[in-house]
């Protein structure tokens, strides 16, 4: 009886052994395929991040060289008007620009998804095309358009006998930058939302239309609630992009130095500290605090969205 049982269990053990070998091979293949990414992530992100954190706890002095100062750089940053002013400016940028940009993106996505337009592919490509233009090129182009002495808007105003608008004046330059960023990223966010809309089952629309729902009702009651994930994703990406703003104000500073200072945004300030003032330790602390601000705002956005979803 014992021998008979062992004979029956032998094939089962062999099968389990083969399954375990197959799993090990799958795990080995998965690790091998993911290893290039992990190596690049470690070299390009993790190691520089830890090194920047290490630098932020030190200070370079003319007398005494580099010394450990603990949290002094962070305390200095929290009382630095240049850093706080840049963060506040970007917070204002976020509150005004992001809702406008995402609102336009959602509007274009809903219009394209409704199927009421002709030449949809051409229109979709036209809205997305500005995103394909590098931000440096886009800023140079808009800088020319904004020019008070040579720009087409100024030339048109002079032809009409009107004073030339100064888009790069101190009180206008932030809104001019908002326009550049909105022009460049509406198409990207539209594509994300449009792809989410196309994944909604058509049966929902058919059932709603049978009940007499209009296109507006479909959009408000079915489409927008169904793409909350895409809306949250684009919002978080926009929060990150707002606080990391660099190219646009840095390039416009050449033609509007009176309106855009070296500390106009936190990223510009950190760049100035590190590569011009040679104060990489304090710049590292500024960068870490900026990352904390971004994480905090992103968390609040996600928490608010989750609460609204549970409430509904």
- The predicted-structure confidence for 137-194, as pLDDT tens digits, reads as follows 999 999 999 988 888 998 998 888 888 889 999 889 999 999 999 999 999 999 999 9
Q: Is the pLDDT of residue 108 over 60?
A: yes
- The predicted-structure confidence for 129-145, as pLDDT tens digits, reads as follows 999 999 999 999 999 99
- The predicted-structure confidence for 235-244, as pLDDT tens digits, reads as follows 999 999 999 9
Contacts of 242 (CB under 8 A, 6+ apart): 90, 93, 94, 97, 98
Contact 282, 73 (CB under 8 A): yes
Q: What is the pTM of this model?
A: 0.86
The predicted structure's pLDDT at residue 72: 94
- How far is residue 278's CA from residue 262's CA, in Å, rounded to a whole number? 14
Q: What is the mean pLDDT of residues 214-236?
A: 89
**Bigger pLDDT: 65 vs 153:** 153
Q: Out of 12-21, 24-33, 281-290, pick the least confident.
A: 12-21
Q: Is the pLDDT of residue 31 over 60?
A: yes
C-alpha distances (whole Å) from 80 to each of 51, 246, 285 are 23, 19, 12
C-alpha dihedral sign at 134, 135, 137, 142: positive
Q: What is the mean pLDDT of residues 4-18?
A: 63
Token code pair at residue 162: 């009107």
- How far is residue 74's CA from residue 79's CA, in Å, rounded to a whole number? 9
């Amino acid at each position: 009886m014992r021998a008979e049982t062992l004979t029956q269990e032998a094939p089962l053990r062999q099968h389990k052994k083969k399954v375990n070998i197959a799993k090990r091979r799958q795990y080995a293949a998965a690790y091998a395929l993911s290893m290039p990414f992990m190596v690049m992530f470690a070299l390009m992100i993790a190691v520089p991040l830890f090194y920047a954190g290490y630098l932020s706890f030190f200070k370079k002095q003319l007398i005494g060289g580099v010394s450990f100062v603990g949290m002094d750089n962070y305390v200095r940053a929290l009382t630095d008007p240049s850093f706080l002013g840049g963060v506040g400016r970007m917070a204002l940028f976020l509150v005004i620009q992001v809702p406008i940009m995402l609102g336009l993106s959602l509007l274009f996505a809903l219009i394209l998804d409704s199927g009421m337009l002709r030449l949809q592919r051409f229109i979709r490509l036209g809205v997305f095309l500005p995103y394909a233009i590098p931000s440096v090129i886009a800023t140079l182009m808009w800088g020319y358009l904004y020019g008070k002495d040579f720009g087409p808007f100024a030339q048109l105003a002079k032809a009409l006998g009107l004073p030339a608008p100064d888009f790069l004046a101190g009180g206008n330059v932030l809104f001019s930058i908002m326009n550049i960023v909105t022009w460049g990223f509406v198409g990207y966010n539209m594509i994300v939302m449009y792809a989410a809309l196309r994944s909604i089952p058509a049966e929902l629309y058919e059932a709603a239309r049978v009940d007499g729902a209009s296109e507006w009702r479909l959009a408000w009651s079915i489409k927008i609630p169904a793409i909350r994930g895409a809306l949250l994703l684009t919002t978080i990406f926009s929060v990150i992009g707002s606080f990391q703003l660099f190219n646009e104000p840095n390039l416009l500073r050449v033609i509007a130095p009176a309106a855009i200072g070296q500390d106009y945004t936190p990223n510009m300030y950190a760049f100035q500290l590190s590569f011009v003032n040679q104060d990489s330790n304090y710049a590292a602390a500024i960068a870490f605090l900026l990352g904390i601000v971004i994480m905090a705002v992103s968390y609040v956005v996600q928490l608010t969205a989750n609460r609204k979803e549970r409430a509904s």
